[in-house]
A and B are shown apart, each in its own frame.
Chain A
Amino acid sequence: MHTLDVLLQQVVNGLALGMMYALLALGFTMVYGIIELINFAHFSVFMTGTFVGLMVLNLMGVTAVSASLQGPALVGTLIVLFLATMVATGVLGVLIERICLRPVRHVSGTAPMITTIGVAFILINIMLLTWGPQAQRFPQLLPNWRWGVGGAEISFKQIVLFVVGLLLMLALWHLVQRTTLGKAMRATAQDADAARMMGIDVDRVVVVTFFLGSALAGAGSLFFGLYYGFTGYYIGYTTGLRAFTSAVLGGIGSIPGAVLGGLLIGLTQSLGGQFLGVKWTDVIIFSILIIVMVLRPNGLLGTRTPQKA
């Protein structure tokens, strides 16, 4: 391979990776935007999503590792898989909010955040106990097509990841900016008390936010499974931390910021690995984060949030 081809390949790899981070970052950013809580349970909701996807596939009779589904059967399976998994992780997010977070929402300090860390570990251990410790293989539904782009290769999986990811993000953008529900969400984000006085059901807005964020994590988890072909109880941590970093880098609370941050982190990871070595990945990522935070404390696309009373 030529140097330029390698570079091009790394850009393709980085953008695909970034898309996955972006989908996860959206969940962090939405919850933070609404209730100013860093929801660490999001890592584990993502991880749980991969196992939910596995179960859904098993229920549909897809157990072979290289499934030979084609045409309408494949499309149908994918639609059921995404719908079922996203609803399941969405409901999981709502349950976490309802059972663990709402009772401590008005407690000031770090209690709610610590609660989310606790929930994360409970989910990790539940998956460990039910699925066992080893990597589980995830059925490879998508065909292994590849196309040459110059000297680099782009795979069908990467294209699907891109197209579906972008569609989900646009749908979210539309929901937040163009619907009444979105207006209520934005109002709650600005000032929950004022929103409540205007007749907005803040609790409902928070529930919807958790549902949407967790459903996106579910979609992200399916991309993870279909793209890498495996899952394990420990996958949430590294991917989740990078996604969280993406959200902060882009400006936590900002939806386009989360997407930009995700793509940037993905590219940083692949180009940094190419030029400096993958052992430096975390050093590079967090150095960039610190530099951006020092120069722009609200992140790349973040805006100064109005002071809350």
Chain B
Amino acid sequence: MRRNLLFGLIALTAVLVLASWPDGLIAQGKVVKIGLSLPLTGADADGADAILKGAQMAMNEINTKGGVAGYKLEAQVFDSATPAAGQYDPAQAATNYKKFVADSLTLAAVGPVMSGEGKAISPILSEADMATITPSSTNPDITDPKFQSQYRPKGKAVYFRTVTTDAYQGPNMANYLFHQQKMKSVYVLDDGGAFGVGIADSFQKRAGELGVKVLGRDRLDPKEADYKTILTKIKGLNPDALYYGGVMQAAAKLAPQGYEVMPRVIKAGSDGVYDLSWPKQSGKEAVEGWFCSQASPELVTSPKVEAWVTKFKKEMKRDPTNYAITSYNAVYVIADAIERTAPKKPLTRANLRDAIQETKLSSIQGPIAFDANGDILTKTVSIYQWRDGEIKYVAVAPEK
């Protein structure tokens, strides 16, 4: 009998726990955790580090002021890169987001950094009714209603962005190279990642529309060391420009070998190569002249943000990037949503998501508001060039 009683108690407890599971998502102990899954190791570590520190600075500020609506913010940080991949790993990102979902105190997330991760984690978020705010991933498919069944099966937007998408970033770079650099022919490369393929596609499409001759398209294996084969082939085609859609692992090798094989060709990439460690990884002379872009307005050199930059350098002991600022703002979007939700409704993931959808925030990057898919309404793309080992702001990319 005693044994049956024990069994009964265990069963009862299990039933109670299961029944209360959805409500278990209500934050307790006056702490809200924000999930941060970033490729903190691997080739893109420097960019990810800047993004992490942007978010941490925002959380520190908020907590120093006593938190938001009585809640302290706490970062829950996981690495999304694996040694086997040598860079971000979508499967690891998915594992990390499942951990966020399993922690009842984690109500929203900042990230991911890479679109390849975004594609893997968006359905997990949709299932959990949990919002994430990406400060840097720009592949348009993730938020495109066309792919709703794939990336947000439950319908509501869960993937919000404080940057615009490659629907603007790739084409606007093509516009810039065509109008300002007189590009007449181009060879397009990507790195096989979701982001790289997507942005190279959108660049290539726009270049074709502008009447630029697309001489070819190929895909780099980021783990390959030797790009001389493809560069020799490209050199034989004699293009005005080379466009690379992708992130740092391939770029670190593409730059020095490209410099060796064809030093005089115009070379351009995206925000995937806006990485302050590039000259260190590839050599100052190798990155000289490369163009890159950001899916945000230029902020770090803007006089409006000067005080912020000084504070960031002092507190975080490194140089900021624009995506450190979009990441900083992503935390403020979540804090603002908590502030609007807490007094009226229980603080759940779903309610917080609804509040984020309604965001109207004025931030240091300008106004932040989202469309029904989670994309930011401001769509500015900035162009940069590497000169003498430093990344210099050039212009806002033409929209046509």
- Bound-state Cα–Cα, A269 to B224, Å: 11
- Bound-state Cα–Cα, A55 to B191, Å: 31
Query: Do A232 and B86 touch across chains, with their CB atoms under 8 A apart?
Result: yes
Q: Name the contact of B226 in the complex, choosing from A3, A121, A237, A269 (C-beta under 8 A).
A: A269
User: Chain A, 241-274, contact with B by CB distance < 8 Å: what is the 0/1 string?
Assistant: 0000000000000000000000000000110011
* Residues 48-79 of A contacting B (Cβ, < 8 Å): 65
* A residues less than 8 Å from B45 (CB atoms): 132-134
User: Chain A, 205-244, contact with B by CB distance < 8 Å: what is the 0/1 string?
Assistant: 0000000000000000000100011101111011100000
Interface size of A by CB at 8 A reads 39
Q: Is B238's beta carbon under 8 Å from chain A?
A: yes
Q: Name the contact of A13 in the complex, choosing from B42, B229, B280 (C-beta under 8 A).
A: B229
Query: Do A6 and B232 touch across chains, with their CB atoms under 8 A apart?
Result: yes
Query: Do B225 and A274 touch across chains, with their CB atoms under 8 A apart?
Result: no
**What number of A-B contacts does a CB cutoff of 8 Å give?**
115
Q: Is A197's beta carbon under 8 Å from chain B?
A: no
Query: Do A277 and B232 touch across chains, with their CB atoms under 8 A apart?
Result: no
Size bracket of the B interface:
35 or more
* Residues 283-337 of B contacting A (Cβ, < 8 Å): 283
Contact stretch, chosen from B140-148, B214-222, B371-379, B386-394: B214-222
Q: Shortest CB–CB separation between residue B40 and chain A, in angstroms?
A: 8
* A residues less than 8 Å from B226 (CB atoms): 13, 17, 228, 269
Q: Which residue of A lies closest to B48 (CB)?
A: A133
Q: Is B233's beta carbon under 8 Å from chain A?
A: yes
Contact stretch, chosen from A83-91, A96-104, A162-170, A278-286: A278-286
Query: Do B41 and A133 touch across chains, with their CB atoms under 8 A apart?
Result: yes
- Bound-state Cα–Cα, A277 to B234, Å: 11
Query: Do B229 and A10 touch across chains, with their CB atoms under 8 A apart?
Result: yes
Specify which of B42, B85, B226, B227 lies most central, judged by the most chain A CB atoms within 10 Å of its CB: B226
- Bound-state Cα–Cα, A14 to B218, Å: 18
Q: Name the contact of B225 in the complex, choosing from A128, A233, A238 (C-beta under 8 A).
A: A238
* A residues less than 8 Å from B253 (CB atoms): 135, 228, 230
Known interface pairs A65-B283, A273-B233. Does A128 touch B41 (Cβ–Cβ under 8 Å)? Answer: yes
Query: Do B41 and A229 touch across chains, with their CB atoms under 8 A apart?
Result: no
Q: Name the contact of A10 in the complex, choosing from B43, B232, B252, B280 (C-beta under 8 A).
A: B232
Query: Do B86 and A274 touch across chains, with their CB atoms under 8 A apart?
Result: no
Query: Do B218 and A278 touch across chains, with their CB atoms under 8 A apart?
Result: yes
Q: Is A26's beta carbon under 8 Å from chain B?
A: no
Q: Is A1's beta carbon under 8 Å from chain B?
A: yes
User: Chain A, 1-21, contact with B by CB distance < 8 Å: what is the 0/1 string?
Assistant: 101011001100110010000
Q: Shortest CB–CB separation between residue A169 and chain B, in angstroms?
A: 21
Query: Do B232 and A9 touch across chains, with their CB atoms under 8 A apart?
Result: yes
Query: Do B236 and A278 touch across chains, with their CB atoms under 8 A apart?
Result: no
Main secondary structure of the interface of A (DSSP, over half): helix
Query: Do A279 and B232 touch across chains, with their CB atoms under 8 A apart?
Result: no
Q: Name the contact of A278 in the complex, choosing from B220, B225, B238, B280 (C-beta under 8 A).
A: B220
Q: Shortest CB–CB separation between residue B280 and chain A, in angstroms?
A: 7
Specify which of B43, B221, B224, B283 lies most central, judged by the most chain A CB atoms within 10 Å of its CB: B224
Specify which of B41, B219, B233 lies most central, judged by the most chain A CB atoms within 10 Å of its CB: B233
Query: Do A277 and B219 touch across chains, with their CB atoms under 8 A apart?
Result: yes
* A residues less than 8 Å from B229 (CB atoms): 10, 13-14, 269-270, 273-274, 278
Specify which of B83, B253, B280 lies most central, judged by the most chain A CB atoms within 10 Å of its CB: B83
Q: Which residue of A lies closest to B43 (CB)?
A: A134
* Residues 234-264 of B contacting A (Cβ, < 8 Å): 235-236, 238, 248, 252-253, 256-257
Query: Do B83 and A128 touch across chains, with their CB atoms under 8 A apart?
Result: yes
Known interface pairs A9-B232, A233-B83, A279-B218. Does A137 touch B225 (Cβ–Cβ under 8 Å)? Answer: no
Which residues of A are at the interface with B, using a C-beta cutoff of 8 A? 1, 3, 5-6, 9-10, 13-14, 17, 65, 121, 124-125, 128, 132-135, 137, 224, 228-230, 232-235, 237-239, 269-270, 273-274, 277-279, 281-282
Q: Which 3 pairs between the two chains have the least Cβ-Cβ distance?
A: A234-B86, A279-B219, A273-B229
30 CB contacts below 8 A, A to B, read A6-B232, A9-B236, A13-B228, A13-B229, A125-B83, A134-B248, A134-B280, A134-B281, A135-B282, A137-B280, A137-B282, A228-B225, A230-B252, A230-B256, A232-B252, A233-B83, A234-B85, A234-B86, A234-B223, A235-B225, A238-B221, A238-B225, A270-B228, A273-B218, A273-B230, A278-B219, A278-B229, A279-B219, A279-B220, A281-B221
Given contacts A134-B280, A230-B256, A278-B229, 20 further A-B contacts (CB under 8 A): A1-B236, A6-B236, A9-B236, A13-B229, A14-B229, A128-B41, A134-B43, A134-B252, A228-B225, A228-B226, A230-B225, A232-B252, A234-B85, A238-B224, A273-B229, A278-B218, A278-B230, A279-B219, A279-B220, A279-B221
Which residues of B are at the interface with A, using a C-beta cutoff of 8 A? 41-43, 45-46, 81, 83-86, 192, 218-221, 223-230, 232-233, 235-236, 238, 248, 252-253, 256-257, 277, 280-283
